[in-house]
Copies of this chain bind each other. A is one copy, B any other.
Amino acid sequence: MKALTRRERHRLMDVTIYEVAKRAGVSIATVSRALRGTGPVAARTREKVLQAVEELNFTPSRLGVSLAEGRHAANGIVFPDLAGPYYTEVLLGYEEVASELGRSVVILSTKGRTRVNDLVKDLAGRVDGMLIFGHTVPDPLVAELVRLGVRLVFISRDPLPGADTLRSENAGSAHALARHLTGHGYERFAFLGAPLTSRDDVDERWQGVRAALGGAIDAVDTRHYTVECGFEAAVKLLKGRGRPRAIVCSDDEVALGALLAAEELGLDVPGDVAVTGWDDIMAARHARPALTTVRQPMRELGARAARALDELITGVRDTPSNLILPTELVIRSSCGHHPQEART
């Protein structure tokens, strides 16, 4: 069997600008100008070109355009996982705005991946800039990306040179949440999460509630932010001596695990133990009791990230920005009984 000729392998070409030019009886430069609206083109010429384009059903090759233009017109996004609605919502907000700005979105999930660095570098070669969650990418690599000229926006991490950061407010809401719980008369608390890991948001939440509750709260490491880990840690915690009256969870999924744990042990929530989450994912509202939590503007975070990235890429702005978006305490029934219980 004969090997494929070069031409045959090329599925990308379809009809090229040369064919359009020939058909319209002009040069490829004119076709390009007519199509992009750069430089002057006589009305009659443009007409011919457009007609040829129409007849041949021509679409400029993205690769050719990108190579010549020196830009990809694409954004990347690096997230650990899409489990749970948090990243998903941010992603949607991001994609929507990126698309409006004429940029595609290339995704990369790092969960369970070896050689993340290579994957990130590959991604960097496909995009003009990227959004990175927290500390998903190691700092040295971040520095290298900056050096390479890849524009970066981070969500949920501490500011760093050469990149934008974006996060939602944590300390204030943590404080409000703690106050609400003490308002219920509770005195012993536990924080379920992993305040010492890299997910900076969680660290801030922990610091926030601790600042408000002082020695009345202890942290319990869940290792991961999943229902299962929340469940296991909560079972251990609720079985042990000195059971806390309220469990503040690092996020909703851990809280859902805690809810299951209480049920497993025959404990009433919030009668025996109160539970709160963070993020306000869909399941939080449907859990019984419904979960008191803190709502993050997840979609908004994504949308802002896309705009910020666009500013950096187009060069409209070159000084890094560090933005913090407000959050909102959502009181439901898992934290205690309220006089007039509002349906959320």
How far is B119's CA from A165's CA once the two chains are assembled, in angstroms? 29
| B residues in contact with A71, CB < 8 Å | 11-12
A309 to chain B: closest CB distance in Å? Answer: 14
For the complex, give the distance between the alpha carbons of A64 and B70 in Å: 11
Asked whether A82 lies within 8 Å of B92 as measured between CB atoms, the reply is yes
Any B CB within 8 A of the CB of A322: no
Complex: A113 Cα to B272 Cα, angstroms: 48
A126–B88 touching, CB < 8 Å: no
- A residues contacting B by CB (< 8 A) are 9-14, 59, 61-64, 66-67, 70-72, 74, 81-85, 88, 91-92, 95-96, 99, 104-109, 111-113, 119, 121-123, 125-126, 128, 148-149, 227, 256, 259-260, 264, 282-283, 286-288, 343
Would you list the 10 A-B pairs with minimal beta carbon distance, nearest first?
A288-B288, A283-B283, A10-B70, A62-B125, A11-B149, A63-B67, A82-B88, A286-B287, A283-B286, A256-B286
Whether the pair B106, A148 counts as a contact (CB closer than 8 A) is no
Q: Give Cα A128–Cα B10 distance, bound, in whole angstroms.
A: 11
Determine if B104 and A108 form an interchain contact, defined as CB atoms under 8 angstroms apart: yes
Judged by DSSP, the binding face of A is mixed
Tell me the smallest distance from the CB of A118 to a CB of chain B, in Å: 10
- Complex A-B: 23 CB contacts under 8 Å: A11-B70, A11-B128, A11-B149, A13-B70, A14-B148, A59-B121, A59-B125, A63-B66, A82-B92, A85-B85, A88-B88, A95-B109, A96-B112, A104-B106, A104-B123, A227-B282, A256-B286, A259-B286, A260-B286, A282-B283, A283-B283, A287-B288, A288-B288
Given A11-B70, A99-B113, A99-B119; 8 other pairs, CB 8 A cutoff: A14-B149, A62-B125, A64-B67, A74-B106, A82-B92, A95-B108, A107-B107, A283-B286
A83–B134 CA distance with the chains assembled, in angstroms: 23
A81 CB → nearest B CB, Å: 7
Residue of B with least CB distance to A129: B11
A74 to B112, CA, bound (A): 20
The verdict on A70 contacting B286 (CB below 8 Å), with A104-B106, A105-B107, A107-B107 known, is: no
Contacts of A106 in B (CB 8 A): 74, 104-107
Residues of B within 8 A of A121 (CB): 59
Residues of B within 8 A of A91 (CB): 82, 107
Are the C-beta atoms of A70 and B9 separated by less than 8 Å? yes
Chain B residue numbers with a CB within 8 Å of A61 are: 125
Measured between beta carbons, the chain B residues less than 8 angstroms from A72 are 12, 63
**Does the CB pair B109–A92 fall under 8 Å?**
yes
Do the beta carbons of A67 and B67 come within 8 Å of each other?
A: yes
CB-based nearest B residue for A95: B109
Bound-state CA distance A70–B92 (Å) is 31
Closest chain B residue to A8 by CB distance?
B70
A62 B122 Cβ-Cβ under 8 A: yes
Contacts of A113 in B (CB 8 A): 99
Tell me the smallest distance from the CB of A99 to a CB of chain B, in Å. Answer: 7
A227 vs B72: C-alpha distance when bound (angstroms): 38
CB distance from A90 to the nearest CB of B (A): 10
